Structures are given as C-alpha cells and as structure tokens.
Amino acid sequence: MTSMTVGLARLKTRADFLHVAAKRRRAVRPGLILQAAPRPIEADCGQAVRVGFTASRKVGNAVTRNRAKRRLRAAAAEVLPRQGRPGTDYVIVARAATGERGYMELVADLETALRQLDRHERGGRPPGAAGRGEEE
C-alpha cells in the first residue's frame, strides 16, 4: 500500500465509519458516494483530514472491491489534501461504476462532491429546494 499524503489520516474503526454515516451529509456522484462529518472531539488527529474507504458486495467480488478502493485511495490522495476541510472525517463509498470509470472522472467526481457538501454546509441551497434533504 502506498503511504498516505501528509495531512491525511485513515479512519479504521467501525465506530468512526458509523459516526460519519449518522451525520447523513452525503453527495452522490456516478463513481462514488462521499459522506462527511465534523470530527468527534475525542479523536486526536490535529488538523489532519481523516478518510475511510468502503465497498459493499454490490460493487462485485473481493478483487473488484479491492480494485475500486485502491482507485478511490489514489483519487483521495490527490484531492483531499488540497480541498478537504481540516477537522472533517470523510468516508468514500465505492459504487458499481467505480472500477470502470476513468481515473480523471473519479477525481472530478470527488472534487464535485466536496464542493456540493461545502455549498450545503454554508447554506447555499434555498429553503425547501429539495424534499429529500442533502442526498443528491
């Protein structure tokens, strides 16, 4: 495994993943789903961006899931150090299209998802614009 870029730390425990999922802030793109949550106070990682990766069996067999996560790790290492919000935990979920999607398309998906979450956090959506919350 390649080393993570300085400024990125890995989410490793199930509790970390569940904390991010419970905040229900997510952006759905063709190649990935990005979930985000403010870091819990008890997590002592300074100002590093923390990130975790997951792929369900819907993505494919173990080889396909591992390939999808490798591709997502590479995209995250490129994008999150410069565009991730310090003090935030991110979970990047592989989708069925992750393995076939071009690398630059994955990077663009991640960048767009980050912008979408930032826009929602700053209140960029007009009140009542979407009936289902911040999902898409």
Residue 2 has pLDDT above 50, yes or no: no
From the number of C-beta atoms within 10 Å of its C-beta (0-12, 13-18, 19+), residue 50 rates as: buried
Tens digit of each residue's pLDDT (9 = 90 or more) over 119-129: 877 665 443 34
pLDDT in tens, 62-107: 999 999 999 999 999 999 999 998 889 999 999 999 999 999 999 9
127 falls within a domain: no
Domain extent for 111: 8-121
Residue 73 maps to which CATH number?
3.30.230.10
Q: Is residue 136 in a domain? A: no
Q: Which amino acid is at 98?
A: T
pLDDT(18) > 70:
yes
pLDDT at 7: 65
Residue 128 forms part of a structural domain: no
| 23, pLDDT greater than 50 | yes
Q: How far apart are the first and last CA of the chain?
A: 32
Q: Could you tell me the two tokens for 47?
A: 């100002």
Nearest to 60 by CA among 51, 50, 69, 73: 69
Structural domain includes residue 2: no
Give the Cβ contact number of residue 104 at 10 Å: 9
How many structural domains compose the chain? Answer: 1
Q: Which residue has the higher pLDDT, 126 or 113?
A: 113
